[in-house]
Amino acid sequence: MNLKSLHLQHQEIHLEKLERYGIRLVIKREDLIHPFVSGNKYRKLKYNLVELQEKGYAKLLTFGGAYSNHIAATAYAAKEQGVKAIGVIRGEELKAKAGENPTLNFARKQGMELHFVSREIYRTKTQPMFLESLYRRFGDFYLLPEGGTNALAVKGCEEILVEKDSAFDYICCAVGTGGTISGLINASTVHQKVLGFPALKGSFLKNEICNFVSGKNWELIEDYHFGGYAKISASLVNFINVFKEQTAIPLDPVYTGKMIYGILDLAEKGYFSRGSSILAIHTGGLQGIPGMNQILKRKQLPLIQ
């Protein structure tokens, strides 16, 4: 994937509650980096695709769930690179309804072969026995972990921050598998604090991040996952819709929406001192909104606009 020019917006947010507390919030619009391989997915795939090409792989295999940003982005990027993509999908029950799922349907249209496994088997995705069965089934392939996080992904995410970003006191991002925040920690300066807002419940992410970083200037804020991965409430939907009306910035409901909600709530609670400047990374994920709206409609909850 090559970008001829990359002009990412730093969009300052003017909200009364931020001005009341003397806090400056700027959103870095990584969601605009590519129409289909947006945000941190472009960053994570960049050097993995270089490695794949240099080693001469003709196939790429990776893992994901029903509405995975990673699956959608990888499918498109692989097609662009002329590489066969295989997606191991969590949940055998999805096979019959894949055509109704916006993310899986998009991935298939890009040429990705979808291989559905039970949730029990999916939990063994890093185990040698399961990986051997995949090699027997699909032949040789370049293995990309769930969410795309590995050392090469972290290297790509280190490029999110540029020189002018060193002026901010805080760098904030949503956290899924830990690759993006690891790159931000490695690229941050010693005077900056990197805050991660996990989309999942559980403290296992700390160990994952520590595999890639040596810096200590970071913290996981674990109070804004809204019940866990892909869980959402009417209040969060309303927040996302109102925020878009006020700023013209769309937020996804799994990652960035929860992060921005958390930042504004922390500001009200006095977490940030007056005069603090915050750079929040918009990591994309907007492709997941149609799928989330299907779920919200079934639950008779308001939809994301």
pLDDT tens, position by position, for the chain (305 residues)? 544 444 558 999 999 989 999 999 999 999 999 999 989 999 999 999 999 999 999 999 999 999 999 999 999 999 999 999 999 999 999 999 899 999 999 999 999 999 999 999 999 999 999 999 999 999 999 999 999 999 999 999 999 999 999 999 999 999 999 999 999 999 999 999 999 999 988 778 999 999 999 999 999 999 999 988 778 899 999 999 999 999 999 999 999 999 999 999 999 999 999 999 999 999 999 999 999 999 999 999 999 99
Q: In what order do the strands lie in the sheet with 277-281?
A: 10-13, 24-28, 277-281, 170-175, 193-198, 218-220
| Residue whose pair of structure tokens reads 């795309």 in the numeric block | 148
**pTM score over 0.85:** yes
Cα–Cα dist 28/9, whole Å: 6
- Token digits for 72? 């959608």
Cα–Cα dist 298/77, whole Å: 32
What pLDDT score does 148 carry?
94
- Residue 135's identity, in one-letter code, is Y
Q: Is 139 left (phi over 0), alpha (psi -120 to 50) or beta?
A: left
pLDDT tens column, 228-252: 877 889 999 999 999 999 999 999 9
Cα–Cα dist 104/89, whole Å: 9
Cα–Cα dist 299/231, whole Å: 12
Cα–Cα dist 184/50, whole Å: 21
Give the count of alpha carbons within 13 A of 109, CB side only. 11
pLDDT tens column, 56-114: 999 999 999 999 999 999 999 999 999 999 999 999 999 998 999 999 999 999 999 99
